[in-house]
Amino acid sequence: MSMIIVQDLLFLIIVIGLSVPLGIYIHQVMAGQKVFLTRLISPVENRIYRVLRVPDDEAMSPQKYIYSVLSFCAIGLIFVFSVQMLQYILPLNPEHLKAPSWDLAFNTAASFVSNTNWQAYSGESSLSYLTQTIGLCVQNFLSAATGIAVLFALIRGFTAPKQLTIGNFWQDITRITLYVLVPLSVIFAIAYVSQGVVQSFSPYQDVTMLENGMTQTIPLGPAASQIAIKQLGTNGGGFFGANSAFSLENPTPLTNFLQLLSILLIPAALCVAFGQAVKDSKQGRAIYVAMILLFVLALAGVTLSEALTAPVFSGVATTGNMEGKQIIHGVGTSALWGTATTAASNGSVNAMLDSFTPLSGLIFMFLMQIGEVVFGGVGSGLSGMLAFVILTVFIAGLMVGRTPEYLGKKIEPFDMKMVCLIVLTPLLCTLSGTAFTVLLPQASAWTLNTGAHGFSEILYAFSSMGNNNGSAFSGFQANTVFTNVAGGIIMLIVRFVPMAATLFLAGNLSKKKFVASTEGTLRTNNSLFVGLLICVILLLGALSFLPALVLGPIADFYTSLS
């Protein structure tokens, strides 16, 4: 246990240490300041604007920004769907894979465009190299950049004095992709290849096994390049079906550590960038501390549950619950990964989540159900946390009878309506999707287990799809027409309704003048506010999901004791 604690502390120290300079760099990029890559990338950036005939200096209204986001993502949705359906006649398909069913293609397209990366398919047996690269890998970049762009539009709403615009979407997404996502992905991809992660366009290889002389097919493909951005962009969709539990996708302890690091790196850095952008680093630090405290609390719960509540067999040395985990990772690293991936809206796995203890499953679900705000997806996680910050300020204002303010902007009824859309849309989609599914007569056939654990598998699936996460309890049969269509629609709703609400909130905030702070103004950068923010998040999550969690993982826990 002591080694696990040392590992977790070292991991958090490295994440925090690297997030500070990266956050400062991201702020400089988005503010249009010169950085060390400007001379190299600026000509490429300007060339993109000229080719696309996009005016990079035109500030957009919230309505135009939303239209740009939705039209851009709609084109991406159609493109990814079309590439899948036509892959059997397109190049880079050495295994001659056929087109998937229309419902699976729609689900996959919606999943990657919405930054969910829910996988109802197995990549090596379903998708060609071309589909994986120009379809899924490209969307890993673009969906991540879209989330960060919307975040900075919201930040401009807080920092702009009486303006009607919130920035330029095309400029935002181009800068994020060129200056942040591409350079980091190149660095991590090279590191993965050096450790044995496959990066090849060669056909699959048949090899003879030494043990029994039988032939086994080894899947290949350009995996390292996709793995780099799937983690950095908190996407999570694996090149292979087993995701980061597969030896060709995550072969060594170093690749495991680098992938874990990249999952949290950009979401953590954005807290620092936020503090830089609002010219008050303490504001970003307060949000960062709240995220870390919630993450540490969840990590401690999962680690203790996996290490101490596993079945003990007489005469057998036990190291905790090793079912569904790789020996190379063990209980500690698997618990850290499971906590990070559900906290950060990243659907990748290095162990079978369905095999974790019921209490660990409860924590994984709850991290998603509170809106993926404990780091969360790149951009979308901090946007969601800022919605909770505004909600907390509003509640505090009601308690003292004062008009709520945040960062010098008054919080008014329209702002709270947008906050409610941001906070409640994932919640309602998660619960309604779960409720409707369990009422179907064929629902019991879609789960590997019965009773409380079977319900947990369904609840986890819609918690994942309803919060743009993408991970799953593998016992749930995801590839059905109903789950593909319903899940695809849910993933699009919970991505773009809160995103539109965020942009309308940004536009309304940018129109307001700054109000001077007084002695009665609530301080939002101290420990008292951090504690209040955490309480609001936990209370809203508990009030919304406790009945469902009682029927699922809590009942599963007590059933396993009997």
DSSP string, 58-123: -PPPHHHHHHHHHHHHHHHHHHHHHHHHTTTTSSS-TT-PPPPPHHHHHHHHHHHHTT----SS-H
- Mean pLDDT, the chain, rounded, equals 93
Neighbouring residues of 549: CB distance < 8 A, sequence distance ≥ 6: 362, 365, 366, 459
The one-letter code for the residue type at 475 is G
pLDDT for position 209: 83
pLDDT for position 130: 96
- When pLDDT is averaged across residues 40-62 and rounded to a whole number, the result is 88
The string of pLDDT tens digits covering residues 68-100 is 999 999 999 999 999 999 999 999 999 999 999
Q: Residue 337 above 80 pLDDT?
A: yes
pLDDT for position 77: 97
User: What six digits make up the tokens of 56?
Assistant: 């990079």
- Taking the C-alpha atoms of residue 358 and residue 302, their distance in angstroms, rounded to an integer, is 10
- When pLDDT is averaged across residues 410-415 and rounded to a whole number, the result is 94
CA distances from 152 to 125, 277, 421, 467, 514 (A): 39, 9, 19, 21, 19
pLDDT for position 475: 86
pLDDT for position 330: 86
User: What six digits make up the tokens of 541?
Assistant: 């999550």
pLDDT for position 318: 60
- Taking the C-alpha atoms of residue 180 and residue 45, their distance in angstroms, rounded to an integer, is 13
Which residues make beta-bridge pairs with 218? 205
Q: Residue 437 above 70 pLDDT?
A: yes
- When pLDDT is averaged across residues 191-217 and rounded to a whole number, the result is 89
pLDDT for position 135: 95
H-only helix segments in 466-554: 481-510, 527-549
Q: Tally the C-alpha atoms within 13 A of residue 143's C-alpha that lie toward its C-beta.
A: 37
The string of pLDDT tens digits covering residues 104-163 is 999 999 999 999 999 999 889 999 999 999 999 999 999 999 999 999 999 999 998 889
Which residues make beta-bridge pairs with 410? 405
* Lowest mean pLDDT across 140-149, 235-244, 252-261: 235-244
Q: Count the residues in the chain.
A: 562
The string of pLDDT tens digits covering residues 290-324 is 999 999 999 999 999 998 876 655 555 567 888 88
Is residue 241 within 8 A of residue 122, CB to CB? The reply is yes
The pTM is what? 0.95
Is residue 107 within 8 A of residue 118, CB to CB? The reply is yes
Q: Which residue has the tokens 């503010």?
A: 31
Q: Does residue 298 sit in helix, strand or coil?
A: helix
- Taking the C-alpha atoms of residue 113 and residue 14, their distance in angstroms, rounded to an integer, is 30
Work out the angle between the directed axes of helices 330-343 and 253-277 (0-180°, nearest 10). Answer: 30
Closest CA to 239 of 127, 338, 351: 127
pLDDT for position 311: 63
User: What six digits make up the tokens of 323?
Assistant: 């079912």
* Lowest mean pLDDT across 314-323, 512-521, 548-557: 314-323
Is residue 466 within 8 A of residue 490, CB to CB? The reply is yes
Q: Residue 434 above 70 pLDDT?
A: yes
User: What six digits make up the tokens of 229?
Assistant: 């951005």
pLDDT for position 313: 54
